[in-house]
């Protein structure tokens, strides 16, 4: 008989009762170190007192009123994002896929309003992940994810990642713009070359097309900058954000320059929940922490520390790992053995890591992770790797 919860996930048999910082406790008393952060989302870890208080205080006042009325919490959060980024205006929604839907609509509408409705096609990249709605699945372009869901939404062209010649070849009279992740998260923690991002900006300017950045996974401090494109010294025209922006509370956003944001006039786009007082209270509390002086520098330092340890472990266990890659606290280890084997060995040691495409073990701890958490995680990973390496050795000897 089917379970009451639909069977669309292969869930691990772990259920958590509470958390503190980077740690989670199961109902039966097991303590695990969370280096997945609910898929790069619990940016402030678990039970962060400032976030908990902001949510509790707001919930007791008013949670939801709808976008029929002014929402001061959303106005404040939008202003703070505008002040801290390239953007002039922000639209709030509830998830990454919804943010990308909004971004795609905005890009197409901007071209249409500029008198070029024939320019509706978006160039996306092999290995991308943009979400599970019909349009974001088409943008993702992964044949396996699209299978059985009917005609694919038209208007998305895929080219190899980090390949400027392929991008130039794909630009045609119907091209509206380009959508890129600064680090492909789900696709295998593959960073874009910084020069590639700068070249994408230049080619968009050259052809008068729109640069859209999907920073759902890389945004809000994950890579050591507020948004990862800052590493390349460029600005997109429009950008999606979600995951860490609510610290675990569902919140997404589309950030845009005025020229693009202004096309979303009343009646063009909307959401019932998006940017409600409760979600924006969470978003503001997250920003209080992330934008505090020195916080992002600490993310960068801790990311370097973890990366160095991962590179060392990859060298120690060449039968398990090929190498380490990533940016800030979004790191991956390319595995030689199936990545699920390493993940299971990590959980057995008490370390929760997640997987990504391209046979990668992904490590995305909360941004508030401590040095001692990192040291414990590295010790657990080393133990897990040595067990997997021993297994590989035994299998080879047989």
Footprint on this chain of ligand PLP (rule: CB under 6 A): 39, 95-97, 100, 129-131, 181, 185-186, 214, 216-217, 242
Q: How far is the CB of 132 from ligand PLP (least distance, A)?
A: 6
Rg over alpha carbons for the chain, rounded to the nearest Å, is 21
Retrieve residue 133's tokens. 């709605």
Which of 222/302 has CB closer to ligand PLP?
A: 222
Q: How far is the CB of 273 from ligand PLP (least distance, A)?
A: 13
Distances (CA, A) of 105 to 102, 172, 212: 5, 19, 11
Which of 123/380 has CB closer to ligand PLP?
A: 123
Q: How far is the CB of 288 from ligand PLP (least distance, A)?
A: 22
Which of 102/303 has CB closer to ligand PLP?
A: 102
Residue nearest to ligand PLP (CB): 96
Distances (CA, A) of 154 to 122, 145, 173, 201, 251: 10, 16, 16, 24, 27
Tell me the CA end-to-end span of the chain in Å, nearest whole number.
41
Between CA 250 and CA 259 the distance in angstroms is 28
The SS3 of residue 171 is coil
Between CA 276 and CA 53 the distance in angstroms is 17
Which of 245/309 has CB closer to ligand PLP?
A: 245
Which of 98/373 has CB closer to ligand PLP?
A: 98
Between CA 71 and CA 186 the distance in angstroms is 33
Q: Are 113 and 102 in contact (CB under 8 A)?
A: no
Between CA 203 and CA 327 the distance in angstroms is 24
Which of 25/145 has CB closer to ligand PLP?
A: 145
What's phi and psi for 240, nearest 5 deg? Answer: -100, 150
Distances (CA, A) of 315 to 172, 310, 321, 356, 385: 45, 9, 8, 21, 11
What's phi and psi for 158, nearest 5 deg? Answer: -105, 135
Q: How far is the CB of 131 from ligand PLP (least distance, A)?
A: 4
Retrieve residue 279's tokens. 């979600």
Which of 228/320 has CB closer to ligand PLP?
A: 228
Q: How far is the CB of 217 from ligand PLP (least distance, A)?
A: 4
Between CA 92 and CA 80 the distance in angstroms is 13
Q: How far is the CB of 237 from ligand PLP (least distance, A)?
A: 17
Which of 34/181 has CB closer to ligand PLP?
A: 181
Q: How far is the CB of 12 from ligand PLP (least distance, A)?
A: 18
Which of 109/222 has CB closer to ligand PLP?
A: 222
**The residue count for the chain:** 398
Q: How far is the CB of 183 from ligand PLP (least distance, A)?
A: 9
Q: How far is the CB of 25 from ligand PLP (least distance, A)?
A: 25
């Amino acid at each position: 008989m089917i379970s009451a919860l639909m069977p669309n996930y292969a869930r691990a048999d772990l259920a958590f009762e509470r958390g503190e910082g980077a740690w989670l406790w199961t109902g039966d008393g097991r303590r695990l170190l969370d280096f997945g952060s609910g898929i790069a989302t619990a940016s402030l870890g678990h039970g962060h007192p400032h976030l908990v208080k902001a949510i509790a205080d707001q919930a007791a006042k008013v949670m939801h009123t709808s976008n029929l009325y002014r929402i001061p919490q959303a106005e404040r959060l939008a202003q703070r994002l505008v002040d801290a980024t390239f953007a002039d205006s922000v639209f709030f929604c509830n998830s990454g896929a919804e943010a990308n839907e909004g971004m795609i609509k905005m890009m197409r509408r901007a071209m249409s309003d500029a008198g070029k409705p024939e320019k509706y096609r978006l160039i996306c990249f092999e290995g991308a992940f943009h979400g599970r709605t019909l349009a974001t699945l088409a943008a993702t372009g992964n044949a396996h994810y699209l299978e059985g869901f009917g005609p694919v939404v038209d208007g998305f062209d895929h080219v190899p990642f980090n390949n400027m010649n392929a991008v130039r070849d794909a630009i045609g009279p119907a091209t509206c713009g380009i959508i890129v992740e600064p680090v492909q998260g789900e696709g295998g923690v593959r960073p874009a070359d910084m020069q590639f991002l700068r070249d994408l900006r230049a080619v968009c300017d050259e052809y008068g097309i729109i640069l859209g950045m999907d920073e759902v996974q890389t945004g809000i401090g994950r890579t050591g900058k507020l948004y990862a494109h800052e590493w390349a010294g460029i600005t997109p025209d429009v950008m999606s954000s979600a995951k860490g922006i609510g610290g675990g509370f569902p919140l997404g956003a589309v950030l845009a320059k005025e020229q693009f944001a202004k096309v979303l006039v009343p009646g063009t786009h909307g959401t019932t929940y998006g940017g409600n007082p409760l979600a924006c209270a969470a978003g503001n509390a997250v920003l209080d922490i992330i934008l505090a002086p020195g916080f992002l520098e600490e993310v960068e330092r801790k990311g370097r520390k973890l990366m160095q340890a991962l590179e060392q472990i990859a060298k120690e266990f060449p039968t398990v790992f090929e190498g380490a890659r990533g940016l800030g606290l979004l790191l991956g280890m390319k595995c030689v053995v199936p990545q699920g084997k390493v993940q299971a060995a990590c959980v057995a040691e008490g370390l929760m890591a997640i997987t990504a495409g391209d046979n990668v073990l992904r490590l995305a701890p909360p941004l508030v992770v401590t040095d001692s958490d990192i040291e414990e995680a590295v010790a657990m990973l080393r133990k897990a790797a040595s067990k997997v390496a021993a297994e590989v050795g035994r299998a080879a000897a047989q």
